[in-house]
Amino acid sequence: MVSVNSKKPFTLVFTLDQQNNKILLGMKKRGFGMNKFNGKPRCHSFKAPIPVVMDSLYYPYSNVGFGGKLEPGESVLQAAYRELTEEAMIEAHNMEKVGINLFTFENDPVALEVHVYVVTQFSGIPTETEEMRPEWFDYSKIPYQQMWSDDEQWLPHVLDGKFFLGEYHFAKDQKTILGEKLSLVSNP
């Protein structure tokens, strides 16, 4: 879809309470995706907070999953466990890979390769950290308007038990999707 010079790996973890159909999101308080709810991903080259040119009606908050970049010598899976503990203060007992997103941005040769995981068993109580404020949401009330624009397209399939491969090319405003491709795989 777009030519990139390099890909940087990130993790993004969604913790699910499958008995009650709830998903744990984090209000990101700083960094890339600040004021979005996320499962949690991160990128080195975008550490600076997004300037306030963001449309505050469109992104009043940033709700995200939990995750981030890899530390030296760390595998993607190890990073996923570590990030969830660092950001939500819980310890995952399982970690299932449910998809991969490749994010590219207008005029940026660096792509983000975000590995998405689901956790269904954990110990501890989600607790606010310097970076994130965790909150449980019903599957039917996920605040997509406060999340990255791509989430609404692939996250429902994750909740439906599918494995996905996504590619999203963003405009400079970091919310307009200029190009996209989503493939679903039932049994990878």
DSSP-based three-state secondary structure for 146:
helix
Instruction: Choose between 176 and 187: whose C-beta lies nearer to ligand 6OG.
Output: 176
Per-position DSSP letters for 42-103, written without gaps between them: --GGG-SPPPTTS-TTT-SSBEEEB--BPPTT--HHHHHHHHHHHHH--EES--EEEEEEEE
125 in Cβ contact with 89 (< 8 Å): yes
The DSSP letter of residue 155 is H
Q: Per CB under 6 A, does 164 bind ligand 6OG?
A: no
Q: Per CB under 6 A, does 150 bind ligand 6OG?
A: yes
Gyration radius of the chain's alpha carbons:
15
**Least distance CB 44 / ligand 6OG (angstroms):** 7
- From 8, 24, 32, 79, residue interacting with ligand 6OG (rule: CB under 6 A): 32
d(CA 4, CA 79): 24
What's the length of the chain? Answer: 188
- From 61, 111, 151, 158, residue interacting with ligand 6OG (rule: CB under 6 A): 151
Cβ-proximal residues to 108 (8 Å cutoff; 6+ apart), any chain: none
- From 16, 43, 119, 158, residue interacting with ligand 6OG (rule: CB under 6 A): 43
Q: Cα torsion at 188, 183, 62, 175 (round to 10°)?
A: 160
Which region holds residue 87: left if phi is over 0, alpha if psi is between -120 and 50, else beta? alpha
| Residues 61-90 interacting with ligand 6OG (rule: CB under 6 A) | 64, 67-69
Question: Closest residue to ligand 6OG, Cβ-based?
Answer: 41
Task: Specify the stretch interacting with ligand 6OG by CB under 6 A; choose among 14-22, 35-43, 48-56, 157-165.
Answer: 35-43
Q: Per CB under 6 A, does 99 bind ligand 6OG?
A: no
**Least distance CB 166 / ligand 6OG (angstroms):** 9
Instruction: Choose between 106 and 160: whose C-beta lies nearer to ligand 6OG.
Output: 106
- From 27, 37, 41, 61, residue interacting with ligand 6OG (rule: CB under 6 A): 41
Q: Which residues bind ligand 6OG (CB under 6 A)?
A: 10, 12, 31-33, 38, 40-43, 46, 64, 67-69, 103, 112, 114, 148, 150-151, 170
